[in-house]
Amino acid sequence: MSNSQAIAGVTIMLEFLIKEGALQELGSGTLEIVTTKPLDEARKEGQEKNQINIFLYQTNPNSAWRNLDMPNKVKPGETGKPPLALNLYYLITAYGKDNEDTESQTLLGVAMRVLHDHPLIRSYDIDRAIAKKPGFIDQGLLDESKKKLLEDSNLANQIERISVTPNNLSLEEISKLWGTFQTQYRISAAYKISVVLIESQIPVKTPLPVLSRGADDRGPDSQTGTIPPLPSLTAIKLPQNESYFTVGKDLILEGYNLENSEEVHFGHPHLENPIVLTNLKDVSATQIRVTLDGSMQWLAGFYTVTVHVQESDRTRITNSMTFPLVPEVTAITYPDRGNRLTLTCNPAVKEGQEVALLLGDLAIPYQFPTPQSQDPILEKNLTFNVSNVTPGTYVVRLRVDGVDSIPIDFTKQPPEFKEDQKVTIQES
């Protein structure tokens, strides 16, 4: 399979085919030099020879091979990295001796005829260029370093064929291409080479085969009906008269086959280990009640919940569900005509969380203090700079990882904003 040298290998093959075609059609010495340089470097001052330049100006991923496993490399049940599949875009430019246009047109015609006669770069052509196998004669068209690179690229062993097709560029595309290099336009032809496969160096994952399916190799269990056969969660609810989740409140988990539940695990993106609660109440096949114990190190934000259910021979884990744990603003401190407003919140916030004070339509981000040790910073008292806030009375909301505190009293009809969740900002 081709390796990282395959791109250079394709360029060398184009050079070989064009040199060979020019030698056969025009004779020795007519095509004096073939280069593979950028457009602004191809024709140096004082260089007046017959020349063809092969310039690789673009590479694009090949969409057809983007997600395909390498044939004969990845077996059923194994996973491997797809090859890097590339389309290569070349510009073939001809320069005549003494900048004679008829010479350059002749050379370009030869190059285009050669690539027309070779719509595929075949393994046979690569072997002819390398000229190491018996029966192939070295024509002296490539130096030893290029033949070595071509051989090492393993391009001849690529399983997908390499096609050569003309690429019709518009006048605007040609103008932009030459204008990028700030050099005078010369007669050229564009080609697309597809596809070059570069094998990934990540090894294939090869798990052992499955020897049995289920106990005594009886295969998977099946059942009729819509109730899942395994423990599963379907909903997370609050008790009656509750409107949002906060620390200290009960959580009701609904699902199926939960009667042997032992633990509830709460995962959070900013906690290294999940919070595990075992104080389960009202456990039944379809419901569990658990209290969000205030002695645990909770963080506001979104949690994923799973239930561990003990069976006779194993512990099963349910599917996960998410819920938002709302931060509570328990105190607001604002000195008269000051620039600093301090909130006390529950639970604490941890360094790395996105924390902001919301006053009206203004969001003021919280800046965590500089850490004094390796331990993560946990803050309950948050101080914000409100010097740029327009004076007035505002309802205070605290946003932590996308979850807002609730400043609403739902016991009132209609609901009202809580007075202890308001602050009056004065001119400093």
Backbone dihedral angles phi then psi of residue 16, each to the nearest 5 degrees: -65, -45
Residue-by-residue DSSP string for 305-354: EEEEEE-SS-EEEPPPEEEEEPPEEEEEE--TT-SEEEEEEEEEEEBTB-
pLDDT at 242: 76
Q: Rounded to an integer, what distance in angstroms lies between the CA atom of residue 230 and that of residue 243?
A: 31
Which pLDDT tens digit goes with each residue over 28-44?
878 888 999 999 988 87
pLDDT band at 97 (very low <50, low <70, confident <90, very high): confident
**Region of poorest pLDDT, from 129-133, 224-228, 405-409:** 224-228
**Region of poorest pLDDT, from 66-70, 103-107, 416-420:** 66-70
pLDDT at 32: 84
Which domains are present in the chain? 6-198 (no CATH), 232-325 (2.60.40.10), 328-425 (2.60.40)
pLDDT at 214: 67
Whether residue 272 has pLDDT greater than 70: yes
Neighbouring residues of 94: CB distance < 8 A, sequence distance ≥ 6: 51, 52, 104, 105, 106, 107, 108, 111, 186, 187, 188
pLDDT at 204: 76
Which pLDDT tens digit goes with each residue over 296-329?
999 999 999 999 999 887 899 999 999 999 999 9
pLDDT at 53: 94
